[in-house]
Copies of this chain bind each other. A is one copy, B any other.
Amino acid sequence: MTAEIWDVIIVGAGLSGLSAAHLLRKRNAKLKILILEGKDRVGGRTVSTDIPAANGVDRWDFGGQWVGSTQTHIFELIKELGLETFAQFNIGKKVHHMGGPGAKVRTYRTSIPALSPMVLMDLAQLLWKMNRLCATVCVQDPCKTPNAVELDSMTLHSYIKQHVWTAELKEEMGVCSRSVFGLEPSQMSFLFFLMYAAAAGGVLPLLESTPGSAQEFKIKGGTQQLSQCLAERVGWKNVRLSSAVTAIWQDAEWARVTTSTNTFFGRAVIVTCPPHLAAKIHYHPALPSQRGFLTQNMPVGHMIKFIITYRTAFWKEKGLSGEIVAGSSSGCPFCVTFDATSPSGNAALVGFISAQQASQWSSKEGGERRKAVISSLVKYLGLEAASFIHYEEKDWAKEDYSGGCPVNVMAPGLLTYYHPSLRKPCGRIHWAGTETATLWCGYMSGAVQAGQRAALEVLAELYPLTLTQEEQEAVQHSLTVKDPVEQTPTFQLTYFSTTKAIVIAPLAIGAVLFLAQNQNARLMVKTYLANAFF
């Protein structure tokens, strides 16, 4: 055993930890910063891997991959690091399959799925209600949301059950929950869902690949580069891989961080790993019990992500975008696929086996899973789907020092009682990781925002003079949790008055009913929903 002395020790070399280190380093080049990582690589929940493709070999993201233009924190980082983005391909017909294996497979061109007028009306009223609630959520301090206890006492499933009229939309919402969280709607608090959506600017931005949404762009060369470039700037010598932290001891002078082979002393610690992993670290003195209750009950999603490469993007030739959305009743193992053709033109699809379906398929043999995926692709895209070059998948539940993906949610009854413990520092320990973000929480952008916020907290404590007045106030604000309603990044959510609602709702329903008759007018429905309700 050796003992080393550092200024700041960061637990986790993912985007959040490395963003924290990068900001610290920029503010004070003399700071001794150590980053400890359990995995044998940087990047956390982002990993880019080379696999066989049409032109030999190419690289794809097997973890976080998309960024959206309203995700300012990640976009600034991309710019600073000199990386390039390219748009998610979404031109052509999308495939939509709900209502059981025998139900008709439909196609549509807009971002509002090919739903019957009744289901579209149902969707309009649901989005209207949800976004109306979203506008009341205080992301910074969700306990302040009107009716917080009630909203936090029910699952997303219960809300959907109460407020959705049609079986098809219920199935649709299941797909949304699986695609976004890797969890079923039964596994999270409805207030958590609202907070998550509010941090992204509304419900639709979570789901779409349109401007401002979560699936808008990808990064050329893969997202893991972000962490690799950051590690470069912070200095690889300060990043220790395969060094899982087992315990953090604190006394009046130092935080002592131990791995299985080493002990490190630091003046401040930033823990960035997901809550369920942070809960495994031994803390002495023990953390406040509220922090324990919080991290012990934030389930992490389960996603198996696959990339399948082809000679040509045959779906494009057929006028399809490559997007498939399949309900749990469809018998299809995945819930969603997208075109994943690389910037250099190597044709590929990306898909997700998620939540209950991941749980069910995870224990099966790899070959069986692949066969089921291919068989569904053939069903939805045609026989050409069977002639693939390579199928590669990643089950994030089986990844050491992750154990799940993409994000930890909150089970009911947590936010209203234990939320203040999410970001509140415990002595010398500060908390980061995308789960602690207030803008695009759960996304790569949230990871950056949270890392930077924790870094500012540390600076405010150790070197307050390196902060601007504005930053000092921001830190103070974040620590005191006083803001009634967090501003969303792109637009301000508006709380509709009941009177306004009474006027607008029937108008919306009528408009939707009328427009839904016309396939080409669906885009108008979308625009209408986005503008009128958000």
Q: Which residues of A contact B (CB under 8 A)?
A: 149, 152-155, 157-158, 161, 183-187, 246, 276, 279-280, 282, 286, 288-290, 292-293, 296-297, 299-300, 302, 356, 359, 362-363, 395, 397-398, 400, 403-404, 411-414, 416-418
CB distance from A369 to the nearest CB of B (A): 14
Which residues on the B side are within 8 Å of A299 (C-beta)?
293, 296-297, 411
Task: For the complex, give the distance between the alpha carbons of A149 and B174 in Å.
Answer: 13
A363 touching B288 in the complex, CB below 8 Å, given contacts A153-B155, A158-B153: yes
Further 15 A-B residue pairs, CB within 8 A, beyond A157-B412, A158-B158, A289-B403: A154-B157, A155-B155, A155-B412, A183-B413, A246-B246, A286-B400, A289-B302, A289-B404, A290-B363, A292-B397, A296-B296, A296-B403, A297-B411, A356-B417, A411-B411
A155 adjacent to B292 (CB under 8 Å): no
Task: For the complex, give the distance between the alpha carbons of A364 and B187 in Å.
Answer: 32
- Closest A-B pairs by Cβ, 9 of them: A289-B397, A153-B186, A186-B413, A187-B413, A411-B411, A153-B157, A297-B299, A158-B158, A276-B296
A185 touching B290 in the complex, CB below 8 Å, given contacts A297-B297, A411-B299: no
CB distance from A349 to the nearest CB of B (A): 25
Which residues on the B side are within 8 Å of A398 (C-beta)?
286, 289
Contact among B300, B359, B414 for A418, CB-based, below 8 A: B359
What is the chain B residue whose CB lies nearest that of A281?
A: B280
What is the chain B residue whose CB lies nearest that of A244?
A: B282
Task: For the complex, give the distance between the alpha carbons of A325 and B414 in Å.
Answer: 25
Task: For the complex, give the distance between the alpha carbons of A358 and B302 in Å.
Answer: 32
CB distance from A9 to the nearest CB of B (A): 21
Task: For the complex, give the distance between the alpha carbons of A282 and B430 in Å.
Answer: 24
Which residues on the B side are within 8 Å of A363 (C-beta)?
288, 290
A152 touching B296 in the complex, CB below 8 Å, given contacts A288-B363, A359-B418, A395-B289: no
CB distance from A477 to the nearest CB of B (A): 22
Task: For the complex, give the distance between the alpha carbons of A276 and B298 in Å.
Answer: 12
CB distance from A317 to the nearest CB of B (A): 38
CB distance from A193 to the nearest CB of B (A): 13
Which residues on the B side are within 8 Å of A356 (C-beta)?
417
What is the chain B residue whose CB lies nearest that of A187?
A: B413
Task: For the complex, give the distance between the alpha carbons of A403 and B296 in Å.
Answer: 10
Which residues on the B side are within 8 Å of A184 (C-beta)?
153, 413, 417
Task: For the complex, give the distance between the alpha carbons of A185 and B289 in Å.
Answer: 20
Task: For the complex, give the distance between the alpha carbons of A276 and B292 in Å.
Answer: 10
CB distance from A352 to the nearest CB of B (A): 16
Contact among B152, B185, B300, B395 for A186, CB-based, below 8 A: B152
Which residues on the B side are within 8 Å of A286 (C-beta)?
398, 400
Task: For the complex, give the distance between the alpha carbons of A288 and B292 in Å.
Answer: 24
CB distance from A191 to the nearest CB of B (A): 10
Task: For the complex, give the distance between the alpha carbons of A37 and B485 in Å.
Answer: 47
B411 adjacent to A359 (CB under 8 Å): no
Residue of A153, A300, A398, A416 with most chain B CB atoms under a 10 A cut-off = A153
CB distance from A395 to the nearest CB of B (A): 7
A404 adjacent to B158 (CB under 8 Å): no
A290 adjacent to B153 (CB under 8 Å): no
CB distance from A481 to the nearest CB of B (A): 15
Which residues on the B side are within 8 Å of A187 (C-beta)?
297, 411-414
Residue of A299, A302, A359, A413 with most chain B CB atoms under a 10 A cut-off = A413
Task: For the complex, give the distance between the alpha carbons of A185 and B152 in Å.
Answer: 11
A412 adjacent to B411 (CB under 8 Å): yes
Task: For the complex, give the distance between the alpha carbons of A186 and B149 in Å.
Answer: 9
Q: What are 15 A-B interface contacts by the 8 Å CB criterion?
A: A153-B161, A154-B155, A155-B413, A187-B297, A280-B280, A280-B282, A286-B398, A286-B400, A289-B403, A290-B359, A292-B397, A293-B299, A293-B302, A299-B411, A412-B412
Task: For the complex, give the distance between the alpha carbons of A398 and B362 in Å.
Answer: 37
CB distance from A155 to the nearest CB of B (A): 5
What is the chain B residue whose CB lies nearest that of A277?
A: B296
Which residues on the B side are within 8 Å of A279 (C-beta)?
276, 279-280, 296
Contact among B362, B412, B416, B418 for A290, CB-based, below 8 A: B362
Residue of A185, A299, A363, A411 with most chain B CB atoms under a 10 A cut-off = A411
B300 adjacent to A359 (CB under 8 Å): no
CB distance from A180 to the nearest CB of B (A): 15
Contact among B153, B161, B404 for A293, CB-based, below 8 A: B404
Residue of A158, A183, A246 with most chain B CB atoms under a 10 A cut-off = A158
CB distance from A174 to the nearest CB of B (A): 10
CB distance from A146 to the nearest CB of B (A): 17
Task: For the complex, give the distance between the alpha carbons of A183 and B279 in Å.
Answer: 20
Which residues on the B side are within 8 Å of A411 (C-beta)?
187, 297, 299, 411-412
